[in-house]
Amino acid sequence: PKTKTASLSKASVAVEQQTKVALIRIGTRGRRQNPHTTTDVPTYLPDKTILPCNLPREDVRDAFISLTAASLADLPPASVIGTASLRRKSQILHRYPSLNVQENFRGNVQTRLRKLNEGVVQATLLALAGLKRLSMTENVTSILSIDDMLPAVAQGAIGIACRSDDDKMAEYIATLNHEETRLAVVCERAFLQTLDGSCRTPIAGYACRNEDGNCLFRGLVASPDGTRVLETSRVGPYAVEDMIEMGVQ
């Protein structure tokens, strides 16, 4: 058990150093398998799989990166922004309908920055959490506030999943859990499940503890072109049942 616990702890440290590894799936022999970003975790987990653990959450905000403008508001009309995220696209176009969004803007962080430097686009948005984990924050032009760009469900959160019938593994990873983050992710994913959404749906959701110690949840669903945006917010106790109910409502 000590060896397994130590190995898992080392795995969690390695995960923190990589932007694209935000979910560790524990296989039948306790080996790390199939890393994904938590944002890309399916709305409904595979049978006999649970997500009982989250590490402390990184900054959930999006970073604006451009060589010619200080912010989205400073971009001239018809400027092209590269992002494959429908969530980002819909919120950008809702606020700045004169801008153009290039959806086919994919690749790792380095590839996207190269395209920006080559003039393929005038700006892009990337998760600040990923840039921090890659030690690439020097590329950030400015940081968007939560009011300007509501984050994706579970953005910045690293989770560890295991089989539902593996009590020993669940016990091991419970020692790594950051409960405040886990409850926030549970609330946000309940919202996503209620809307039957995915990372290919213009849905955003963010739960956090407010100054009174309660949970403040904000949710958003939009049309891909940004012409329609529906937002909601709720406040309730920072407890699992209440937070699930907030996400569902």
Q: Which of 40, 74, 148, 166 is catalytic?
A: 40
Cβ neighbourhood burial of 30 (10 Å; 0-12, 13-18, 19+): middle
Distance from C-alpha of 65 to C-alpha of 24, rounded to nearest angstrom: 29
Domains of the chain from N-terminus onward? 2-59+153-248 (3.30.160.40), 62-143 (3.40.190.10)
40 is catalytic: yes
Beta bridge partners of 143: 63
Q: What is the three-class DSSP state of 147?
A: coil
pTM of the complete model: 0.82
Backbone angles phi, psi at 83, to 5 degrees: -160, 135
Q: Are 162 and 219 in contact (CB under 8 A)?
A: no
What's the pLDDT at 40? 66
What's the pLDDT at 43? 74
Give CA angle at 100 (132, 217), nearest 5°. Answer: 50
What's the pLDDT at 120? 95
Rg (CA), the chain: 19
Question: What is the full per-residue pLDDT of the chain (249 aa) written as tens digits?
Answer: 444 444 444 444 444 433 233 454 544 444 444 334 567 677 778 888 888 899 999 999 999 999 999 999 999 999 999 999 999 999 999 999 999 999 889 899 999 999 999 999 999 999 999 999 999 999 999 999 999 999 999 999 999 888 999 999 988 898 999 999 999 999 999 999 888 765 567 999 999 999 999 999 999 999 999 999 999 999 999 998 989 898 887
